[in-house]
Structure 1
C-alpha cells in the first residue's frame, strides 16, 4: 500500500518547507474547518472516531498491517510491542469512553453543539474549541500525539501537528487512515516534520494558532512557550517520571509470580520509553526482610518470559553501550558487598534488574532497565523520591485492599497525579487527567449567555464587584 502525497509530512525528504507554505497551510485548515468540521454534531464525530478505532483493531486493516510490518524499522519497537501498544490505545477508543470523557470534562456533550441550560433559569452555556490548534509533538511514543488529534477533532478544531523527526511514522499512518474513512475531515488536519532549529517555520505556526499544545522535554516546552504570543492559549506537557510501590502484605492477596508479571508488563510496555513507565519499584519490607530481593529475582524471571513473547526492539550502538556500561558499574558494586545485586539477560541487553538497598530515586536508562529498592514505608519511599516530586506522573500500586485508600491519599497529598494498579501504568483510560488537568476541558472556551429573564422571574444575582 502506497500513501499519496496528501500531508506535508508526505513530501520527499529534503523537499523545501518555507514560512509561506506553513502560513498557507494554516489558512487552508481554517477554511476547511468552516466547510467540513465546524457544523458536525458531537454524536457524528464520536461515531466516526469509534469507527476509526475499530478499523485499527482489525487484523486485515491496511494501515495496521503497514504499521506492524514497517513500524519496527521506523520506530525501534518490535512488532509485538507495537501490536500490544496499538491494541491498548485503539481498544479504548470507543463510543462509550468518548462520551464518558465529554461528560467528565464538559458536563454534557451537547455543550459543543449549542447553548445549553445552566443551573440558573436565565443563563445558558456553550463550549467552543479553538479554530486552529497547533501541536508540537514528542517523538518517544505515538499515543500522546494520536490522542491529541482525537481531542482536537472532538472540539471541532482544525489542527497543524508538527511531528518529531523520529516520531512521524504512526501519526502519518493515522492521518491517512482518517482520510480513507472521511476525506473531508482529514482536510482539517495537517501533519509536518522538519529538523529542529527551524525557528522561521515555528514562529509562523505559533502566530497562526489559537491554541498551542507542546509535549516534550522541559526545555522544549519552555522555548516554545517563550515564543508563543501572550494572547494564545498555551498547554505544555513536560518531562515526567513514574515508579511503582509494593506494600508489605500484598502476597496475602497475590502470588509473587503474578506480582512480578504485572510489574514486568509495565516495564516492557513501549520498552519503558513512556512518561508513565516505571524507573524503579519501591518494595516495603515489613516483617519479611527478604521480600524486596525475592521480588527483584521474580521480576528478572518475568522479564525473561516477556522477552520471549514480546522482545525488545533493537538498539542503536550508543544505547546498547550505555546499558552495558551501567551494568558493569552495578556488577562491580555487587561484587564488593551484599547491598547490591544484578540480574540481566544473557548475551544481550534485552533487560536488566538492579536491586539496591540505597533508597534514593534513580533514573533508569530505559529499554527495560529497572531498579528495585527496599523501604520501610511509603513515607520513606516518598522522602527518597523528593528530588523528582514535581516531575512524577504515575505510581503503580500493589497493596492489600484494606490499605489502598490510605496509601492513595498519602500519594495524592505528596503530589502524585495518577495512581493505578501495577500492570496498568502505561494503559491510562481515555478519561484520565493528563498531568492532573482535564485534557479536553483545557482546550475549550466557555461562553456564558445571560438571557432575558421570563416575565415574573428575576435574574438578579450578587453584585459583580
Structure 2
C-alpha cells in the first residue's frame, strides 16, 4: 500500500523508501507550484467548515483508530513494527496515547486554553478573528508511532492546508490516517498532501518549502538547523529538536507512595515507546537514602513491564552501544559502594544505580538509570548543564516542595512537569516544548469599531 496521500490529479513521480530492511512505495508531485495551488483551493473550502465541525470529524476518526481491531490501525501497527523493530504491543500503546489526545474534549480543551474562544477561527468574535496559514509544511520524524497526528491535527484545526513529509521510520501511518479522515470529512483530507523525499533532496525540499506559509520541523539538532536556515522571514517556524527528560523522586514522595509503587512508575516511564521518545527519562534522580532499595524494586518492575509489553528488537549498532554501557556500569559497580547493575539475560532491560551522574551516553532501549541525590535542590542542579535541551520532568514531590521544585524547573527551561509514571502521555493542551502550538500558527485581526457600526 502506498505511503503517500495525494488527493488530486496531477503529474507525480514514484519513489521507493527503504526503511527497517523493507521497501515502501509512494508518489510525490512533480509540479509543486501546481500542487500548492490545489492545496490553496482546498484550504478555501476548509475555511468554510466551522471549527467545531472540524473537531467532530477528527473525533470520529480518532474513535475508529482507538479500536485495536480497526483494519487501518492493524496495518499501521504491522508496518511500524517492521520498520522500528518495536513490538506490536508497544506500537499499539503509543497509538492508544495519541488517539486519546485527538478526541473532541481534548481538542476543545486545547483550543480554549490557547485561544479562549475557538470560534475566532470561524470569523470575528468580540471584535477579533484568527487566521491560519494557507499552507503548512510539516517535516516529521518517526521515533514515536503516531506522532505526526498531533501536528497534522493542529494545522487542520486552524484550517491550514498541509504538506506532510512522512518519517522514514514510520512511513505508513500518515497516509492511513488521512484515508480514514477522507471517509469521514473529505474537505479535511483533501487539504493535505503526504509524501516523502530524502533529506539530501534539496530540489524537493525547496519546492515544497516555496509553497508554505508555516513550517513545522521535527528531528535532531542538525536536521532542524538545516531546515531553519532555509525558512524565509515571512514564514512561521516551529521546531521540535533534540530534547532530554529526567525524573525526580524525593524522600517525602517515597514515604507517601512506597518504593514498590515508585519503581512501578519509574519502570513505566523507562519502558514506554522502548524509551525512544524525547519525553522518556534519561535518568531518575532519587533521594539517596532510598536509591538502592528503589533500584532493586525497579529491576523487578522492569522485568514485569517487559513481560507485559515485550521490548522491540535492538539493532546491531545499538546493541553494541548498550553492551558497552553495561560494561561501564558493571565496572563502576565493582569499584563503588554506591553503584549497582541489574539486567535481563538479554538486552530487554537494564537498571543502573550510581551515586553521580556520568556524561549522558546512548538513548533508549529500556535503561533505567537511577542516580542518588541528597535532595530536590541537588536534583535541579544536576539538570542545569542540560538546560538548553530540557523538556519533561517526572516530579515525585509533595506539598510546597513540589511547587518550589516545579518553579525552579520552569525557570531552568522545562516545558512540562508530570507525575512519575505519566511522563510519556502528555495531553493535547500541553504547550509542546514551551510554546503555544495552535496559537503559534495564527495571525490575528482586531477590529476597533467606528461610530455607527454595531458589533
Q: TM-score with structure 2 length normalisation?
A: 0.92
Q: CA deviation at 1:127?
A: 0.2
CA-to-partner distance for each residue in 1:88-143, whole Å, 9 max, x for gaps?
221232212211111111110110001111xxxxxx11001001011111121234
**2:377 aligned residue:** 379
What 5-or-longer segments of structure 1 have no aligned partner? 118-123, 458-465
CA-to-partner distance for each residue in 1:343-366, whole Å, 9 max, x for gaps?
1111x1111111111135634431
In 2, Cα distance between the equivalents of 1:72 and 1:430?
25
Contact 1:280–1:364 (Cα < 8 Å) also in 2: no
1:424 counterpart = 2:415: no
**1:320 aligned residue:** 319
**1:442 aligned residue:** 440
What 5-or-longer segments of structure 2 have no aligned partner? 18-24
**1:461 aligned residue:** none
In 2, Cα distance between the equivalents of 1:313 and 1:228?
37
In 2, Cα distance between the equivalents of 1:378 and 1:192?
46
Pairing 1:126-141 to 2, within 5 Å after superposition = 126-141=129-144
Contact 2:3–2:171 (Cα < 8 Å) also in 1: no
Change (3 A) 1:223 1:12: closer
**1:31 aligned residue:** 41
In 2, Cα distance between the equivalents of 1:30 and 1:3?
24
Q: CA deviation at 1:402?
A: 5.0
Change (3 A) 1:111 1:355: same
Residue 50 of structure 1 is aligned with which of 49, 59, 63? 59
1:162 counterpart = 2:165: yes
Contact 2:141–2:169 (Cα < 8 Å) also in 1: no
CA-to-partner distance for each residue in 1:390-423, whole Å, 9 max, x for gaps?
1100110112345322222222232222111001
**1:283 aligned residue:** 286
Contact 2:275–2:363 (Cα < 8 Å) also in 1: no
Q: CA deviation at 1:18?
A: 7.7
CA-to-partner distance for each residue in 1:170-192, whole Å, 9 max, x for gaps?
22221222123233321111111
In 1, Cα distance between the equivalents of 2:325 and 2:367?
10
Q: CA deviation at 1:24?
A: 2.8
1:262 counterpart = 2:272: no
1:79 counterpart = 2:88: yes
1:365 counterpart = 2:363: yes
Contact 1:207–1:228 (Cα < 8 Å) also in 2: no
Change (3 A) 1:221 1:190: same
Contact 2:197–2:205 (Cα < 8 Å) also in 1: no
State the SS of the aligned residue for 2:229.
Answer: helix
Contact 1:341–1:354 (Cα < 8 Å) also in 2: yes
Count of aligned positions? 444
CA-to-partner distance for each residue in 1:58-86, whole Å, 9 max, x for gaps?
23311122223343112321111111111
Q: CA deviation at 1:11?
A: 4.7
Larger radius of gyration: 1
**1:413 aligned residue:** 411
Pairing 1:61-210 to 2, within 5 Å after superposition = 61-117=70-126, 124-210=127-213
State the SS of the aligned residue for 1:224.
Answer: helix
CA-to-partner distance for each residue in 1:194-246, whole Å, 9 max, x for gaps?
22210111111112101111111122121111111222111112111000000
State the SS of the aligned residue for 1:395.
Answer: strand
In 2, Cα distance between the equivalents of 1:334 and 1:64?
44
Contact 1:323–1:365 (Cα < 8 Å) also in 2: no
Change (3 A) 1:6 1:358: closer
CA-to-partner distance for each residue in 1:248-278, whole Å, 9 max, x for gaps?
1223321211111111111111111111100
Q: CA deviation at 1:4?
A: 9.2
